[in-house]
Amino acid sequence: MIIADQPVDWARALESIKTSVNPHIGSGKVADYIPALACVDPNKFGLAVALDRGDMHCLGDADESFSMQSISKVFTLALTLKQIGDELWKRVGREPSGSPFNSIVQLEAEQGIPRNPLINAGAIVTTDHLISAYGGGETGADQAMADLLQLFHRLADDDNISIDRHVAKSESDAGSRNRALAHFMTSFANMANPVEATLSAYFRHCSLAISCRQLARAALFLAFDGTDPVTGEQIVTKKRCRRILAVMMSSGHYDNSGDFAYRIGLPGKSGVGGGILVVAPDHGTIAVWSPGLNRAGTSMVGSIALEELVRQTGWSVFG
Ligand code: GLN
C-alpha cells in the first residue's frame, strides 16, 4: 500500500519532470553490443504513467518503440509462474546478485542455480521452464513466444507490439556470453531443453519493440494485485503479484538494485535498451525510456525522471 497525501497534479508533475531531465538529456552510454541498439538517438526521452482506469499521462517520445530488452524478464516470469507455479523456484533463487546482469562467477559456486529470475542466467532458466510448459524444444519456444506476444497485445490493447526479428538475430549473433551461461547451467542439469531452443525464445523476448505508453499499460496488472484493472483479466494471483514485485525491488537493476530502491523506492526493472518499468502498487505503472545507461545498464535520464516523479507524487512502498 502506498501512502500519497493528495491527488496528483499531473500537468505540474510532468512539467517538473521535464525541467529536471532537460539538462541531462543525452547523458550516459548507449548500449553498443549490437548495431540496432548502438544507432539509437541518445537524445530520446519518453515517459508514460498508466493509472487504474487505464488513464495515461505521457511526456516526450512516449509513443516511440524501443527495445524492451531485460524488462521482458518480468513478463516471462509472470507467464511462467502462471503456467507452472512455484516449481520454478527449485531452479532459480530470489536473492539479489550484486553482480552485472551477465555475470557467470556466482553460477559455479552456486551449482548452476542462478540467484534470481531477473539476471540473464535466471531469465534463461525461466524461459527454459516456460518453453517446457508449451511442449519444449523449438516448437515449444515458438508457441510460448506467440502466447507472450498475444498477452502483450491483450494487456496493452494494442496489436502494434512486435518482436523485432532484426534485433533478435543480432542478439543471437552477439550471444556468446548468454550461450556460455546456458551451457554452464546445462552442465549442472539446470536446463531441460536444448540451449539453442531456449535461447531462441530468450533472444526473441528481449527483442520486443514497445513504446512507453504500451509498456505502462501492459504492466498495469502488476499494480493491481495481478489483475488488469481495466479488463478484469487475472494474469497472476495476488500472492504471486506481490512476490514478483518483491523480486523486482530486490533484483530489478542488477548491481544497481540497492541504489535504485534508495532513490526511487518502488519496484522496477531496467533494460539495456534504456527502458525502465516501475510499479506503484494500488496507483499505477510508469514506463520511461532514454537510451544512455549507467555502468549497471540502467537508464541515467530515466532514473532522474523517476526520482522527480516520486518526489512529485509522494509514491513509495515505504510509506
Ligand atoms: N539482451 C540483453 C542480454 O541478454 C539483455 C540485457 C539487459 O537488458 N540488461 O544480454
Best of 70, 169, 171 for a ligand 1 pocket test (most atoms within 8 Å of beta carbon): 70
Q: CB neighbours of 64 closer than 8 A, spacing ≥ 6?
A: 44, 46, 211, 289
pLDDT (tens digit per residue) in 259-298: 999 999 999 999 999 999 999 999 999 999 999 999 999 9
Predicted confidence at residue 319, as pLDDT, reads: 84
For 45, residues 6+ apart whose C-beta sits below 8 A from its C-beta are 21, 25, 59, 60, 61, 288, 289, 290, 301, 305
Rounded CA gap, 128 and 124, in Å?
Answer: 6
Cβ(285)–Cβ(216) below 8 Å: yes
- Ligand 1, atom nearest to 120 Cα: 4
Q: What's the mean pLDDT in 34-62?
A: 96
Rounded to an integer, the average pLDDT of 138-158 is: 98
- Is residue 171 in contact with ligand 1, taking CB distance under 6 Å? yes
CATH topology of domain 10-66+211-313: Beta-lactamase (3.40.710)
Atom 3 in ligand 1: residue holding the nearest Cα: 120
Give yes or no for residue 120 CB within 6 A of ligand 1.
yes
Distance from residue 97's CA to the centre of ligand 1 (Å): 15
- Could you check whether 10-66+211-313 and 70-206 share the same CATH topology? yes
Q: How many helices (H) and strands (E) does the chain have?
A: 14, 10
From the CB of 284, is ligand 1 less than 6 Å away?
Answer: no
Which one is predicted more confidently, 101 or 79?
A: 79
Distance between Cα 254 and ligand 1 center (Å): 11
* pLDDT bucket at 189, cuts 50 / 70 / 90: very high
Fold of 70-206: Beta-lactamase (3.40.710)
Domain residue ranges of the chain, discontinuous segments joined by +? 10-66+211-313, 70-206
The string of DSSP codes covering 284-296 is EEEEEE-SEE-TT
